[in-house]
Amino acid sequence: MSAHARRTGIVSAAVHHPAFMAGIVLSSIFVVAALLSFVWTPQDPLRLDIPGKLRTPSLAHWFGTDHFGRDMFSMIMVGARVSMAVAFVAVGIGMLAGVPLGLYAASRRGSLVDEFIMRGNDLIFAFPSLLLAIMITAVFGPGAVNAIIAIGIFNIPVFARLSRGAALSLWTRDYVLAARVAGKGRLRISAEHILPNIVNLLIVQGTIQFSLAILAEAALAYVGLGAQPPLPSWGRMLADAQTLISLAPHMALFPGLAIVVTVLGLNLLGDGLRDLHDPRSRRTRP
Amino acid sequence: MTAYLLGRFVSLALSLVAASLVIFLVLEIVPGDPASFMMGINADPQAIAALRSQLGLDEPIHLRYLGWVAGLLHGDFGMSYTYRVPVADLIAERVVISLPLTLYALALSTIIAFPAGIIAAARRNSATDVAVMGATQIGVAIPNFWFAMLLVLVFSINLRIFSAGGFPGWEAGFLPAMKALTLPAVALALPQASILARVMRSSLLDTLHEDFMRSARAKGLTRSQALWRHALRNALIPVLTIVGLQFSFLLAGGIIIENVFYLPGLGRLVFQGITQRDLIVVRSVVIVLVFAVIAVTFLVDVAYAIADPRLRRHGR
Amino acid sequence: MTALSVSGLTLAIHGTPILSDVDLTVGAGEIVGIVGESGSGKSMTALSVMQLLPHGSQWSGSIKVAGNDVGAMTETELCGMRGRDAAMVFQEPMTALNPVQTIGDQVAETIRIHTGTGRREALALARQTLDRVGLPADRFPLDRYPHELSGGQRQRVVIAMAIALRPKLLIADEPTTALDVTTQAQILDLLSGLVREEGMGLMLITHDLAVVAGLADRIAILQHGSVVESGATRDVFAAMRHPYTRALFSASAHVPSRTPPPAADGPPVLAVSEVVREYPQPRRGLFHRPPRFRAVDGVSFEIARGENVGLVGESGCGKSTLARAILALDPLDGGEIRLNGEVFSSAGDGPRMTQRAGVQVVFQDPYGSFNPRHKVRRLVCEPFHLLGSPPRGAELEARMLRALEAVGLSAGDADKYIHEFSGGQRQRIAIARALIIEPSLIVLDEAVSALDVSIRAQILDLLAELSGRLDLSYLFISHDLTVVRAITDRVMVMKAGRIVEEGPTTRVFEDPQHPYTRSLIAATPSLAAALAAPADRRAPSGRRDA
């Protein structure tokens, strides 16, 4: 089987994986909505219209209006942009810091550096993640940037552990020994032989962390520690909806559904990617 | 076994020390100094100076840390700046709500997740499996505070079975108190149960592929006998870790859920502390929660040693 | 009564044919050997009998265990049959037992599920069975856990689980492949003793002709899912009617033709002196310093130019640790290693990079030796990294081609990925990678152990030819004495971190001096010896002392 055939194999396997395709479709809705919100929303999401408040869904306001008469559909589109930006940067921080730390720790297995990195990770794990996020935003003030930092910090140990664990098993492979016999240093082996072979794993975990980051951002925004008004955010829209829930249930329904659909899509995508790369579920040998 | 547990104990004690340092330092680097942060911009300089000396801010930082830790060891968390009462009393009042809520949710989560995960694994690829997996996939995606709002909408506002919030207190009797905690516990538990069921299923499926399962079948065990007698205990070992982690998630999730249901627990306390800039309350609640998480981690380690004989004989 | 009769067994898994028209019988008290290379369908034959086939299997034909047709049985009846009438022992003892259950409970379980006796009674019976398989009560109480036992001892527990109810048929699928030779001899001895004394039929599945030749009453040779030849062991080997039998036989006994090494001049290629390697052991307590385990304990030897030296020993003897030390993958705790007269690595001083190009390696596992993301071109050229000014352009191309052609591959293979090659071809690529910078020494760490015998014979020929042509020295590390005997000039025997005997290969094999060498040689199944033995093999001899 040539490399080309292998690639088309993956594509056809992907097309025949319904959960994976559902994941692609659901997450695309979210990405498209976020990108589109930069150039177009059905209404101005910031325009107040007090007389037209708490309208139920209609042709003019697809998801109804909130307690200030703002268009919920437009707000959800802009909210997608905020959620995506926060989650993307936070997971990026986690990967950029965590993966090199994990690879370095694995290349120096059992050394003091390894011990130090792993104990540091344990320490972050010992904090309930939301709690430290709350603490950080409480001290430095609420806002999207602090939310990103708080969520990003918790992604570091996730990626550090994952890449260290995967790298440790690769370090015992004969091809790594062969590279050492060929005189290659630890850094070079990590870059040349270890990292490319754990990239799939990182992508899968990255998707899952992305969805967790969206949930975390929503929770922070819900308690008032996320993006600040007037920037719309899903979590705060839910907080606003809470007191009015018996009057206007639609205000609680749509932002919540937006979160569920997005997270569901990303999780399905992550699971699908794992299935497609798992040698147990796919034939890779000719 | 003792050597193993002693080792774990020391390592957890060290992480507790490290955690207290981190908490101390994070609140130490607040913009300005803690006293002016707590009093706000327009405060009277004299009042700030008074608070500074009350907080001991005139002392060097390492002495303040040691003083704080020494106080913690005696159960003295300091005085709340806003409530003017010892923080220990505030925490004691609130912990009797937060801890039962967390345990209630943890119990619900395990009771739902274990059978669901086991059935899905035992009948892999059946309609049951697909249904359980689909349900958990959605459960994982639901934010617990939104789910809480939906529960309120359905069970309090429409069906009027449960009250929408508040807590009658334990003196009102066990059942009314538990009833008040039920909706919050369900809201907390369902997303976590979904995760746990998925972990249970995949751990069990991994175990079903082990060589010793084939040995068990070759002995004459039926598929389900082999599953119950051999696979389950082995599969539980990784699941224990997740149960331990869930405690920490549920405790933190409780902070938010308490706000949805207006429960006067630690979560409410910490948010009041934040809005009123009462750093002493925030710091104390955080260290109590971290201590609880670390204690549960140790319990999980003990459970590990009981479940896995390879650890029990460790160090022989 | 026949313990097993199989006729016309045909099996397909997900539509892929695995077995076609297999006929077999195993009588009471009889040992039948099933021999074949990987993929011949021998394990699937066993799983068909037990009806433990993977999902998507479809079979036809007739399988009768102790006279009962398994095809007509319900799942409940099959569960009643498994473990009571037919029992099975698997290849990998390390994972065949439940790690969280005591050995007593695991053996007793066989008894309890079939007879419904109480736990206490079943445990008493389990005790007797464990005694029977050579695990006495004083050293192996019932409450031991599997992780406290060695591989050989675990295999005895698996056997105890299988024979607890004295089944009519015992199936052993490569029962000794994962074990050391001395342990292998003991386990085979135990199995054949059980068969003779209890009157069970034993179906012994193996890839190793020598194992069955010394043990089986009858054998069946499997190729591509069909029995190509079967009959009484002696007759099959005497007649060898089928060409595949002949090929298998000659490959098993293959000795490559080699030119003797030239008289040594100049410094030895490799000089190892007083090398020590230690590992810290797991901590015993929090405040105790972990004790250190001396894996290599003051080893010294030399290898001359063009000389092929073997290093044999059982698992855990330190031979792989020694290999890693020679490759300078680990630092030394004592002694020094010289390559071509110059210090390569010594205690307290890491490897000299300039020396690295003098030694290369070929590992055992043909599947794990290559980065799956690189093409053969890049894989083979990796050692050029060691040269100060690596070749480029046409020069690089020419040298890569030369290396590929030296191992019997062609230019077209350079742009393929590793998954496009078979196990034997991969070992050729591994050899090309070792050759490309023209080292003076290649360490071959179990380099042919994972290969089927016919492929192994070809790789041994290739190695012998390269050594003769290029004046290469080999350090050939293996647990397989037959292979070492075939390819080396000199052999060293290692035990517990020390070299206990060293000498010319023929001398060591024909006249071993150290008792450990003698026990190793006696335990090694030998095809020639088994066939030359007197016709009555009912009382196995010469194995007991092993």
Amino acid identity, residue C416? K
Residue of A nearest to C421 (CA): A286
Q: For the segment B130-143, what is each residue's pLDDT rounded down to a tens digit?
A: 999 999 999 999 99
Residue of B nearest to A137 (CA): B274
Amino acid identity, residue B133? M
Q: Collect all residues with Cβ–Cβ distance below 8 Å to C148 and sequence separation of at least 6.
A: B313
CATH number at residue A228: 1.10.3720.10
Going A239 to A245 to A248 to A251, the CA torsion angle's sign is: positive
pLDDT recorded at residue A3: 47
Chain A residues lying within 8 Å of C363, measured CB to CB: 174, 177-178
Candidates A175, A277, A281, partner chain C, best to mutate (most C CBs within 10 A):
A175
The fold of B94-311 is: MetI-like fold (1.10.3720)
Candidates A135, A253, A264, A274, partner chain B, best to mutate (most B CBs within 10 A):
A135
Q: Is C433 on the interface with A (CB under 8 A)?
A: yes
According to DSSP, the residues that pair with C16 across neighbouring strands are C13
Question: Whole-model pTM?
Answer: 0.85
Amino acid identity, residue A280? R
Q: How far is A154 from chain B (nearest CA, A)?
A: 13
Interface of C with B (CB under 8 A): 50, 52, 75-76, 79-84, 87-88, 90, 92, 95-101, 109-110, 113-114, 145, 147-148, 158, 161-162, 282-286
pLDDT recorded at residue C392: 86
Q: Quick one: how many helices (H) and strands (E) in chain A?
A: 11, 0
Instruction: Please state the domain count of chain A.
Output: 1
- How many Cβ atoms are within 10 Å of B124's Cβ, its own excluded? 15
- Quote the crossing angle between the two packed helices A129-140 and B279-307, to the nearest 10°: 160
Q: Collect all residues with Cβ–Cβ distance below 8 Å to C368 and sequence separation of at least 6.
A: A173, A174, A175
Q: How far is A128 from chain C (nearest CA, A)?
A: 29
Structure tokens of B205?
Answer: 């499926």
Q: C135: left (phi > 0), else alpha (psi -120 to 50), else beta?
A: beta
The count of residues in chain B is: 316
Residue burial C403-422, b: 16+ Cβ < 10 Å; e: rest: bbebbbbeeebbebbbebbe
Q: Is A179 on the interface with C (CB under 8 A)?
A: yes
Closest to C460 in 3D by CA, of C437, C487, C433: C487
Going C325 to C329 to C332 to C337, the CA torsion angle's sign is: positive
Q: Is B308 on the interface with C (CB under 8 A)?
A: yes
- Give yes or no for residue B25 having a pLDDT over 70: yes
A224 is a domain residue: yes
The pLDDT confidence band at residue C205, using thresholds 50, 70 and 90, is very high
Chain B residues lying within 8 Å of C114, measured CB to CB: 220
pLDDT recorded at residue C362: 94
- Give yes or no for residue C541 having a pLDDT over 50: no
- Give yes or no for residue A282 having a pLDDT over 60: no
**Rg of chain A over CA atoms, in angstroms?**
22
Q: Do domains C2-250 and C270-513 have the same CATH topology?
A: yes
pLDDT recorded at residue A156: 92
Q: How far is A178 from chain B (nearest CA, A)?
A: 31
Q: Which of C329, C356, C386 sits opposite A177 (nearest CB)?
A: C329
The pLDDT confidence band at residue C222, using thresholds 50, 70 and 90, is very high
Residues 132-171 of B with CB under 8 A from A: 137-138, 140-143, 145-146, 149-150, 152-153, 157
- Give yes or no for residue B10 having a pLDDT over 90: no
Amino acid identity, residue C199? G
Q: How far is A212 from chain B (nearest CA, A)?
A: 9
Residue of B nearest to A270 (CA): B137
Look up tokens 């102790």; give the residue: C66
State the number of CA atoms in the 13 A half-sphere of B202 facing the CB: 11
Q: For the segment A2-14, what is each residue's pLDDT rounded down to a tens digit?
A: 445 555 666 777 7
Closest to C514 in 3D by CA, of C525, C529, C503: C503
How far apart CA C444 and CA C448 sit, in angstroms, is 8
Task: State chain C's mean pLDDT as an integer.
Answer: 89
Q: Is A178 on the interface with C (CB under 8 A)?
A: yes
Cβ burial, residue C471 (10 Å; 0-12/13-18/19+): middle
A285 is a domain residue: no
Q: Where are the domains of chain C?
A: 2-250, 270-513
Q: For the segment A24-54, what is each residue's pLDDT rounded down to a tens digit?
A: 999 898 889 888 888 887 777 777 777 777 7
pLDDT recorded at residue C546: 32
Q: Which of B6, B222, B229 sits opposite C79 (nearest CB)?
A: B222
**Mean pLDDT score, A91-98:** 95
pLDDT recorded at residue C279: 85
Q: Which of B217, B230, B237 sits opposite C52 (nearest CB)?
A: B217
Q: For the segment C120-148, what is each residue's pLDDT rounded down to a tens digit?
A: 999 999 999 999 999 999 999 999 999 99
What is the C-alpha end-to-end distance of chain A, expressed in Å?
A: 6
Q: Is A7 on the interface with C (CB under 8 A)?
A: no
Cite the DSSP H helix spans in A185-246: 186-189, 195-222, 234-243
Q: Do A123 and B15 count as a contact with CB atoms less than 8 A apart? A: yes
The fold of C2-250 is: Rossmann fold (3.40.50)
The fold of C270-513 is: Rossmann fold (3.40.50)
Q: Do B310 and C285 count as a contact with CB atoms less than 8 A apart? A: no
The pLDDT confidence band at residue C540, using thresholds 50, 70 and 90, is very low
A282 is a domain residue: no
Residue of A nearest to C362 (CA): A178
A183 is a domain residue: yes
The pLDDT confidence band at residue B316, using thresholds 50, 70 and 90, is very low
Q: Is A247 on the interface with B (CB under 8 A)?
A: no
Q: Where are the domains of chain B?
A: 2-73, 94-311
pLDDT recorded at residue A8: 60
Q: Do A174 and C382 count as a contact with CB atoms less than 8 A apart? A: no
